[in-house]
Structure 1
Amino acid sequence: MSLFHSDAGAPTYLLVHGSGTSSFMWAPIQRALALRGVRSYAIDLPGHGLDAPYSRSYQAPQDLDAWAAEPSPLATITLEDNVEAVADAARRLREHGPVVLVGASLGGITIGRAASVAPELVDGLVYVSAWACVERSGPYEYMTEPEFSSSLLPGLAGLNVGDPGALGVGRANYRTADPDLLAGLKSATMAEVTQSRFLAFLTIMQPDESVAVMMGDSRVDPDAWGPIPRMFVRLTEDRSIPITMQDRMIREADERFPDNPFTVRTLRASHAGFALDGDGFAEVLLRP
């Protein structure tokens, strides 16, 4: 029985993706969970999945000048919109038993806020190298701290297209043909996988992410979030959110809530590479 089993029964794991991805990223993990008889539900946050905007200028051949000026429907999406979508899914899933929210990367701010505004819907939380904002108001503040200094993300500025201030979104060209940018992106996110698997994963990456989501105040509410059982899955090979930053967020939460510390699990995987190791992740998640 996993950490989150209770007298109410086995939980459904509500899987929340991070920036630039969608429910598609969870497919290998959902297959591994299903083979173990475990229920899961992968959500597409607003403007993601099959609702994501894919401009003709983003396709091949690309027209980056035109694409840089094109508006994005994600510009109007807020963190509160994401939280509402997750809370609605949790409410419906909870008709069938307990619900555990699992957030990867930027998905951490959504599950943290969802648990803060609707704790009655959440029976557990799992952060997968995800932003757990206890002492700082959001990832953008944590990114100025020494524990983030080894991250390779700042070196990927060449992927950006357009002015985020004008567009209201961060826009990344995941279809670039620049070999140096591709190599840098692989090192930052999926260094341990083959080039073929990395390029396959890029085909499901989505270029736009709302600035309002990324910059929203994502601090957890201590009274609501604090008592909820939670796990942090450390990814030791993560070069996007370094292990030093992951450990800082764990430490901050444990110091703030010493009576309910994180259960900490460790997986030898990169920032996105964990998603391709369905069996490995399932074993870590479901360990008693």
Structure 2
Amino acid sequence: MSDMSGRSETSDIVGAGRQSRRGVLKAAVAGAGAVAAVGAGASVAHADGRRRGSPTFVLVHGSGSNSYAWSAVLGELGRGHRAIAVDLPGHGPGAYFPVSYQAPQDLERLRTEPSPIAKVTPADFAAHVVGVVRAVYRNGPVILVGQSLGGATVNAVANQVPELISHLVYASAFCPTQHASVLQLMTTPEASSSALYWIPSVKTPPELGVSRVNWRSGDPAFFAAAKEALASDWPDAEVRALLNILEPDESAAIGAGDARGLPDKWGRVPRTYLRFTKDRSISPALQDLMIREADETTPRNRFRVRSLAAPHIGPRDVAVWADELELVARMCR
């Protein structure tokens, strides 16, 4: 599809397995980067230079995930850019793993075991990322990237500190504008075919306040459904590795909270949508709905759209990720 911003750049469909545009990255690198852990709440990739004009990527994970999910992308970006992957509250070192989730699993207890994650709110997510954005802004422009449910947090952060963000990137991520919440978007006809509905969830009572998924299930039907939803064209071994980094509990408040991007705040920040054409969780039709509604909300600041042949988890070739983010970085210099 064409670039919906009206600019001359086209929105090519990029194959997930094709060779990367290595020359673009090499031109930005003066020395080798390194990947390091920073405190308990983030992973960081440092380039050698810290010039004021060089942007920093702040990467926000999706539901049930953590900063480790960005580790391969961090390694690729570390060749020429600063990048930090955050652990949202209740994730990463702060994640909760119910006793009944451990082996041997107690599936009946898993339905009712309380979780402290229920107390986590969208405001907690936003406050944490705002703090990260403020910290890295001193080094230069900030590019805020959200994947999947992380898009709701990206909206909230841009509503609070639009002046600190040079560009927003939604990687097949939720971007509510005319629909108030992620849950509302998931009730639209465009979401009716979502493979997320095929993943068996743990039937917890509403008062528990969490959405719980047993990623350690040994049921072959569960594995098949999870693979279809997240990474349908990945090898089984890589899908198993993916499932083993996911966390069982997500606060039910995150998807239900009002996450609309506000025209006078969020709407001031330039934005890119990485549209994943093989996504079976957030379908291309639902992605197009969010892009269209966002553009109608701020017609003078429309999405720049890039379509990638990738499933929900993103391109298997991390160089494709890096190439797309490098294009954004060049616009922010």
With the shorter chain as reference, the TM-score category is over 0.9
Q: In the alignment, which residue of structure 1 is the partner of 2:186? A: 143
- Asked whether the 8 Å contact 1:161–1:173 carries over to 2, the reply is no
Q: In the alignment, which residue of structure 2 is the partner of 1:18? A: 62
SS at match of 1:70: coil
- Asked whether the 8 Å contact 1:190–1:198 carries over to 2, the reply is yes
Mapped to 2, the partners of 1:144 and 1:47 lie a distance apart of: 26
* Aligned ranges 1:33-112 → 2 under 5 Å: 33-35=77-79, 37-112=80-155
Q: How many residues align?
A: 280
SS at match of 2:111: helix
Q: Note the residue ranges of structure 2 that are not aligned, 5 or more in a row.
A: 1-23, 26-50
How far apart are 1:49 and its partner, in Å?
Answer: 0.4
Structure 1 or 2: more helix by fraction: 1
How far apart are 1:8 and its partner, in Å?
Answer: 5.5
Q: In the alignment, which residue of structure 2 is the partner of 1:206? A: 247
Q: Are 2:269 and 1:225 equivalent residues in the alignment? A: no
Q: Are 2:325 and 1:282 equivalent residues in the alignment? A: no
Mapped to 1, the partners of 2:113 and 2:202 lie a distance apart of: 14
How far apart are 1:161 and its partner, in Å?
Answer: 4.1
- Asked whether the 8 Å contact 1:115–1:122 carries over to 2, the reply is yes
- Asked whether the 8 Å contact 2:54–2:141 carries over to 1, the reply is yes
For the aligned residues, what is the CA RMSD? Answer: 1.5
* Aligned equivalent of 1:166, options 182, 204, 207: 207
Q: In the alignment, which residue of structure 2 is the partner of 1:179? A: 220
Q: In the alignment, which residue of structure 2 is the partner of 1:247? A: 288
Between stretches 249-258 and 125-134, larger displacement belongs to: 249-258
How far apart are 1:258 and its partner, in Å?
Answer: 1.8
Mapped to 2, the partners of 1:238 and 1:136 lie a distance apart of: 21
How far apart are 1:162 and its partner, in Å?
Answer: 2.0
Query: Structure 1: which amino acid aligns with 2:207?
Result: A
Which of these two proteins has the greater Rg computed from alpha carbons? Answer: 2
Mapped to 1, the partners of 2:71 and 2:226 lie a distance apart of: 21
- Asked whether the 8 Å contact 2:134–2:164 carries over to 1, the reply is yes
Q: Are 2:72 and 1:31 equivalent residues in the alignment? A: no
Mapped to 1, the partners of 2:198 and 2:237 lie a distance apart of: 23
Mapped to 2, the partners of 1:99 and 1:26 lie a distance apart of: 17
- Asked whether the 8 Å contact 1:21–1:204 carries over to 2, the reply is yes
Query: Structure 2: which amino acid aligns with 1:46?
Result: P
* Aligned equivalent of 1:188, options 219, 222, 229: 229
Mapped to 2, the partners of 1:64 and 1:161 lie a distance apart of: 10
Structure 1, residues 168-217: CA drift from partner, whole Å, max 9, x if none? 10010000011011101101110111000000111100000001111111
Q: In the alignment, which residue of structure 2 is the partner of 1:260? A: 301
- Asked whether the 8 Å contact 2:276–2:314 carries over to 1, the reply is no
Between stretches 8-17 and 200-209, larger displacement belongs to: 8-17
Q: Are 2:159 and 1:116 equivalent residues in the alignment? A: yes
Mapped to 2, the partners of 1:110 and 1:250 lie a distance apart of: 17
Structure 1, residues 24-83: CA drift from partner, whole Å, max 9, x if none? 100111111112x11100000001002111123111110111222211111111000000
- Asked whether the 8 Å contact 1:23–1:43 carries over to 2, the reply is yes
Mapped to 1, the partners of 2:134 and 2:71 lie a distance apart of: 22
Mapped to 2, the partners of 1:134 and 1:57 lie a distance apart of: 38
How far apart are 1:159 and its partner, in Å?
Answer: 2.9
Q: TM-score, normalised by structure 1?
A: 0.94
Mapped to 2, the partners of 1:42 and 1:69 lie a distance apart of: 32
Mapped to 2, the partners of 1:43 and 1:64 lie a distance apart of: 31
Q: Are 2:309 and 1:271 equivalent residues in the alignment? A: no
Mapped to 1, the partners of 2:292 and 2:98 lie a distance apart of: 42
How far apart are 1:98 and its partner, in Å?
Answer: 1.0
